Amino acid sequence: MGITMIFLGARWMIVDEPWMLDKVANEERLEMSFDELFQAKINNTLPGYLKQIYQFFGLWVGVIGLFIFLFARTSLTNISKVRISLLICIGTMILFGTIMAHMLIPSSPFVYLAWGLIILYSISLYAHKSI
């Protein structure tokens, strides 16, 4: 899960037009195409602003992924309180992220990613109960 988030964060930081990674859902939410949006003179600087926002978002996602990756080491997850705290944090993030994805961008491929994360999280919960 952490490695996936590191990869996604890096992708948002590197791509020239990161809003195009989820073009269909974004245009559906905007109720217009990006071409229409960027045509208006007042929106001339919008692509640069969006890129900046996505880069910070990518950094945030990548750091959370790094946090999960580093704290999922056996030496830390053997400590029950650390494991429970990590599961609560990740569970909250996945739950609200999935709800927001379904409400705000239902046609996004990120909805499928959210379900994948729920499956991985369920495996983690099962493993926690088994220890």
Residue 105 DSSP code: -
CB contact at 8 A, 131 and 122: no
Burial state string for 43-71 with b = 16 or more CB within 10 A and e = fewer than 16:
eeeeeeebbeebbeebeebbebbebbeeb
Structure tokens at 78: 């053997």
pTM here is: 0.74
What residue type is 65 in one-letter code? Answer: G
What is each CA distance from 112 to 49, 66, 78, 107, in whole angstroms? Answer: 28, 22, 31, 10
Separation of alpha carbons 22 and 9, rounded Å: 14
Q: What pLDDT does 66 receive? A: 94
Q: What pLDDT does 128 receive? A: 86
43-52 long-range CB contacts below 8 Å, 24 or more apart? 47/17, 50/18, 50/19, 51/16, 51/17, 51/18
Q: What pLDDT does 109 receive? A: 86
Tens-digit pLDDT string for the chain (131 aa): 889 899 999 999 999 999 999 899 999 999 999 999 999 999 999 999 999 999 999 999 999 999 988 888 777 777 888 889 889 999 999 999 999 999 988 988 889 989 999 999 999 899 888 87
Q: What pLDDT does 41 receive? A: 93
